[in-house]
Structure 1
Amino acid sequence: MKRLFFPLVFFFFVAISCGTIQVPNAVNYQGLSVSGKQKQDTALLNLIQPYSVEINSTMNKVIGFTPATLSKRLPESGLGNFMADCMKDMAARKFEVAVDIAFMNSGGIRTTLNKGNITVGNIYELMPFDNLLVIQELKGSVLEALFQHVAADGGWPISKGSSFKIQNKKAVDIVVNGKPLDRNATYIVANSDYVAQGGSDAAMLKPFPFQNKGYLIRDALISYVSEITASGKPLDPKIENRVTSNNNE
């Protein structure tokens, strides 16, 4: 049972020459219980019914299939690998640039993909936020600081071709796009606009500008799954030891 709170607003009135201004004097809240026992509002149901049919038609559209349930786990998961790979590949296409690595903050993964058909609605549940896919040009020393943050947080999904180990909450043996991290090199990193702006405590990224084309990560995931399906394959990402930990963090 849910409880909804509706404000009961009391006003006092101030009269001036051109009319009466209503100004809130106090706000009180009354808790109302909402459950399946309430009588349905037929008029309201009729009003939203056409929109409900259209939304359900879109959300129930099957775009793929997974032979196994994909769940989030640390330090690495097939689900996270799929999302990070999608971000790297789709960012490279959208921005027409070679992307070295993509990160998906683990807190941004909101649910699992259950075994069986994958619908558009499932992707909305997986990525309910309107986070945008962006790229940043970062010096290796800044990228290293991000890796250290990720290691302290237990590990985030990273894209194929990159890897690192977590030892005592520190990132070691960092590989980016097939090569050891060079602190003096410059890298193109795909991320969400949320993380690029310092979200998930990634404060080291905030000073650096990012490119944004208004492309939602959710839309990228839908397109990516659809393309895998069109190629005749299921969505079946594997754990590849991209992120390993000496104490199973």
Structure 2
Amino acid sequence: MKQFYLNRLSGVALVGLLLLSSCHSSYQLKKVEGSRIEISSKWDRNPDKEATAILAPYKTEVDSLMTPVVGKSAMDMEAGRPESLLSNLVADVLRNATVPYLGRPADLAVTNMGGLRSSLSAGDITFSNIYEILPFENSLCIVTMKGSNLRTLMENIAGAGGEGVSNVRLEISKDGKLLSAKVGGEPIDDNRLYEVATLDYLAEGNDKMVAFLQGEKKVCPDGATMRDLFFSYVKKQTAAGKEITSAIEGRITVK
């Protein structure tokens, strides 16, 4: 009998044991066992001195980047459906980030709740906080969409129970149907072209945002990651003596 051990570390360690028996020069799976091991500070009680010494210079460099305070939040912000303080803030930052490319903010912005992986607490903001909220290398994309396809995108958002949006007002039903949609305070014009600021991940139709695949044009500027855009926004507000704020505005309401 042969034993194979599988393990993976990612916040929680997954340890599996496969027991295989020999049968005429081949193997048959006899049993699968698994367990979960929580990776927490308890594993730091007896650190490996040699490993710690090797990592020390890298830790110092990372800490120098991640720990300095870059701004201040006036309130606690979390992400949640149908609308939330954090998703509203990030969507607004995304929409206004199109000014260098369009000469104005995009008509609207759409981001996904799943891309916001942490909350923002009231008080000091460090780059580490921003990295925890936006850990992925998602970048700005500007998708030009016909109004009829934009309406389908709003249906995608309604089906998800809400996502992060800017300059949009949606009414959705409890079972995820779109009841009404406005952009800039006006009903969607099926024949008009709209500029939508979003993430490259969503622009490819991921996270059930399949309507983006019907866009007329897609432009994704080099180097415009959502994390860096948010970081620049925080620094700019701080330089102007302003704290980071957000508000629930009825962008998405459930009827």
TM range (shorter): 0.7 to 0.9
CA apart distance, 1:48: 1.5
- Cα distance in 1, alignment partners of residues 100 and 188 from structure 2: 24
| Aligned equivalent of 1:242 | 251
- Cα distance in 2, alignment partners of residues 75 and 125 from structure 1: 22
| Aligned equivalent of 1:165 | 171
Q: Give the TM-score normalised by structure 2.
A: 0.80
Task: Give matches, 1:180-219, under 5 Å.
Answer: 180-208=187-215, 209-214=217-222, 215-219=224-228
8 Å CA contact 2:171, 2:181 repeated in 1: yes
- Cα distance in 1, alignment partners of residues 44 and 211 from structure 2: 51
Task: Give matches, 1:77-88, under 5 Å.
Answer: 77-88=84-95
| Aligned equivalent of 1:221 | 230
- Cα distance in 2, alignment partners of residues 200 and 164 from structure 1: 19
1:91 maps to amino acid? T
Q: Which 5+ residue runs of structure 2 have no aligned equivalent?
A: 1-10, 18-26, 28-32
- Determine helix, strand or coil for the equivalent of 1:103: strand
Aligned with 1:150 (options 157, 160, 170) = 157
Q: Give the TM-score normalised by structure 1.
A: 0.82
Q: CA RMSD in A?
A: 2.8
1:210 maps to amino acid? K
Q: 1:38 to 1:240 in 2, by over 3 A?
A: closer
2:180 maps to amino acid? D
8 Å CA contact 2:156, 2:210 repeated in 1: no
CA apart distance, 1:128: 0.7
CA apart distance, 1:203: 1.5
CA apart distance, 1:40: 2.5
- Work out whether 1:133 is the aligned partner of 2:156: no
- Work out whether 1:59 is the aligned partner of 2:66: yes
| Aligned equivalent of 2:51 | 44
- Listed one character per residue, the Cα deviations across residues 90-133 of structure 1 (whole Å, up to 9, x for unaligned) are 12224545511001111111111011111111111101111111
Aligned with 1:119 (options 126, 142, 155) = 126
- How many pairs does the alignment contain? 228
2:62 maps to amino acid? I
- Determine helix, strand or coil for the equivalent of 1:131: coil
Q: 1:6 to 1:43 in 2, by over 3 A?
A: farther
- Listed one character per residue, the Cα deviations across residues 2-54 of structure 1 (whole Å, up to 9, x for unaligned) are 546599xxxxxxxxxxxxxxxxx9xxx99997752774322222222111111
Identity %: 32
8 Å CA contact 2:170, 2:180 repeated in 1: yes
1:189 maps to amino acid? V
